[in-house]
Structure 1
Amino acid sequence: MHEINAKSILSAQNGMNLYRGCTHGCIYCDARSKCYHTPEPFEDIEIKVNAPELLEDALKRKRKKCMIGTGSMSDPYIHLEEKLGLTRKCLEIIDHYGFGLAIQTKSTRILRDLDLLESINKKAKCVVQMTLTTYDENLCRIVEPNVSTTRERFEALKIFRDHGIPTVVWMTPVLPYLNDTMENLNGILDYCLEAKVVGIIAFGMGLTLREGDREYYYAALDKHFPGLKQRYLDRFGWNAYELSSPDYWNLTRRFNDFCGRNGIMNKPDEIFGYMRDFPEQEKPQQLLFDF
């Protein structure tokens, strides 16, 4: 890890990253892509030690309250957060100044800050987002090795449900020939229904690969699923960016039908608008956080 003093903390769309890089080890992580200029190695975490001071200064100067987003490019609850508490310090500032929060994580470490999330939600609005990709726990431990299991994240979602905090699930990526089965989809959807999530984001039934991310993903396939990389190359070629499941249409129909019947938002623009809509605003801003 290494520390830096950042020049600013909030993007134009009020998103922030307190860390850069990650130790969760997810084999498909898009944040490894070279276009993002993240630390090399990716596990050499960059810590923005002055983030709380920058955030407080930025919120003091804002003329209108709004939603603050975090977790898009770097999980705010990586292992280092346990001892550094950088995320918690920033949540305390958001809570103190009465702003809203849309926070994304794969870790149940977020439950440490349940008191602050509940307070933010009562004063303004708090939306917790969690990624659920792999219903099979054994497969989950391979594709997302250093993070809370899917079952553990599901249990966390139920805790937020019981505390009245709205949740959104990112059901992405769907990995061809690995978790692109109807059994996997139904398991995740059942979790979402029981946890009473307000929305499920699925950017197509597939994954995207870019330079940096692509090499890491295929190396992981060679390590854990011998022969599967060649199957990818035969179907998609080396440079493919969008790799859709061979069962794309059946999975998509099932997903759309399930969400429609159960009143769960599943259109990305609608969900992003919901997460950006501060309670005092007249109209939701249907733009994705720009991190």
Structure 2
Amino acid sequence: MFYLCSMSSLEHHIPAERRKGRAAASNDAGRFEPYARVPEHDGWDIPEDLPPIRTELREERATRIITRNRSPDISFDRSINPYRGCEHGCIYCFARPTHAYMGLSPAMDFETKLIVKPDAPERLAAELSRKSYKPAMIAIGTNTDPYQPVERDRGLMRDILHVLSDFNHPVGIVTKGTLIERDIDLLAPMAQRGLVRVGLSVTSLDAKLARKLEPRVPAPQRRLNTIKALSDAGIPVRVMIAPVIPALTDHELEKILAEAAQAGAVAASWIMLRLPLEVAPLFRDWLHRHYPDRMVRVMGHIRDMHGGSDYAADWGKRMRGQGPYAKLIGARFRAAQARLGLADRLDPLDITQFRVPPRPGDQLSLF
């Protein structure tokens, strides 16, 4: 049975046999919830085997699909997120706190209770068709991954790419998912027209560590193979070391860049581990369970870079942190980047080809 308690209660771990393939070990309520559901023995000594936690899908009908932002820390002003939540389950994911806005937990709910926007392609076509619309690159995958496992069945990202291709609209894609290879037949012609670029994230080359950090993400070598497949198809790829985790993955920085460059990546970037809101206690708990001997060192570096806190959201500082350690990582990255001939960013995409395709019944131009 369950009872309601105040949010000051300690977190309760979900039994390991129920959360195989998941990174979070708890499902504490989000920061806006006044109460939490906590398991409590009901007094009956009757064995009860609870089933493994399964992924659930809910549908959301969007009124708008293009999200605007004015952040000075990122290079785009609009994005699309076909899914809320992410089955990849990366324990460090900075998007976890967004689940709290829906009354769901940024912990296990974020990995298992996903929101799907089935009308995203139609809404996108409608928004791009407005006379007031001015084209600029649309970023996809900046919050949750558009190529997470559910995409294999739903195919929303593929339908969105069809729309963007029809409109000759530029798109930048960020993913850890190798399912993007499915869409090379769409992406390659778009790349030839200067309409697409891809950022593929590789956090670690250690398959065992990666499985603990990001349990449902394809293995590191598989992602390197995807960089090669995209590159061979003429699609420009940037390798993203995101995040760099102090005292856990930082020693792999140069090796990741070298392997990605050999696979065909032409640009590279890095982001330091970020622990906003509910992500901080989730990550600390993960460290305690998997790497207790490194917890003091990891969190010590993090706090040194954020003025003694687990995270500071200051513009211009939150992505990289401050202080000697952050400067050291930056210097190592720049040296390896220069040695391997990797650019800071990919070439700008072409917005001049944008056009609204004719619809059935439209009067066509004679010229």
Query: What TM-score does the superposition give when structure 1 sets the normalisation length?
Result: 0.84
Structure 1 position 21 matched with structure 2 position 85: yes
Partner of residue 292, structure 2: 226
**Residue identity in the other structure for 2:91:** I
Higher RCO, Cα 8 Å, sep 6+: 1
Contact 2:84 2:99 in 1 (8 A): no
Partner of residue 192, structure 1: 260
Which has more helix, going by share of residues? Answer: 1
Quote the Cα distance in structure 1 between the aligned partners of 2:309 and 2:330: 25
Given the alignment, which residue of 237, 240, 244 partners 1:167? 237
**Residue identity in the other structure for 2:332:** R
Contact 2:137 2:172 in 1 (8 A): yes
Report the CA distance between 1:209 and its aligned residue: 1.0
CA pair 160-98 structure 1, distance change in 2 beyond 3 A? same
**Residue identity in the other structure for 1:57:** A
**Residue identity in the other structure for 2:352:** E
SS of residue matched to 1:61: coil
Partner of residue 210, structure 1: 276
CA pair 137-105 structure 1, distance change in 2 beyond 3 A? same
Structure 1 runs not aligned, ≥5 long: 282-291
Contact 2:204 2:220 in 1 (8 A): yes
- Aligned residues between the structures: 271
Q: Which range moves more in the overlay, 86-95 or 55-64?
A: 55-64
SS of residue matched to 1:42: helix
CA pair 33-246 structure 1, distance change in 2 beyond 3 A? farther
Quote the Cα distance in structure 2 between the aligned partners of 1:246 and 1:139: 26
CA pair 125-234 structure 1, distance change in 2 beyond 3 A? closer
Partner of residue 114, structure 1: 184
CA pair 240-57 structure 1, distance change in 2 beyond 3 A? closer
Report the CA distance between 1:37 and its aligned residue: 3.1
CA pair 122-230 structure 1, distance change in 2 beyond 3 A? same
Structure 2 runs not aligned, ≥5 long: 1-56, 69-76, 313-317, 354-367
Report the CA distance between 1:96 and its aligned residue: 1.5
Q: Deviations over 1:59-100 (max 9, x none)?
A: 222655442220000100111111111111111111112112
Q: Deviations over 1:156-214 (max 9, x none)?
A: 00111111110112112111110111xx11210112221332321113xx312111111
Structural mapping, 1:153-164, within 5 Å: 153-164=223-234
Report the CA distance between 1:262 and its aligned residue: 3.6
CA pair 64-122 structure 1, distance change in 2 beyond 3 A? farther
Report the CA distance between 1:261 and its aligned residue: 3.6
Report the CA distance between 1:35 and its aligned residue: 9.0
**Residue identity in the other structure for 1:92:** H
Report the CA distance between 1:141 and its aligned residue: 1.4
Partner of residue 66, structure 2: 10
Over aligned residues, Cα RMSD in angstroms? Answer: 2.5
Partner of residue 128, structure 2: 59
SS of residue matched to 2:244: coil
Structural mapping, 1:45-56, within 5 Å: 45-56=114-125
Contact 2:137 2:351 in 1 (8 A): no
CA pair 231-261 structure 1, distance change in 2 beyond 3 A? closer
**Residue identity in the other structure for 2:273:** L
Larger Rg: 2
**Residue identity in the other structure for 1:166:** P
Contact 2:158 2:183 in 1 (8 A): yes
**Residue identity in the other structure for 1:25:** G
CA pair 218-226 structure 1, distance change in 2 beyond 3 A? same
**Residue identity in the other structure for 1:9:** I
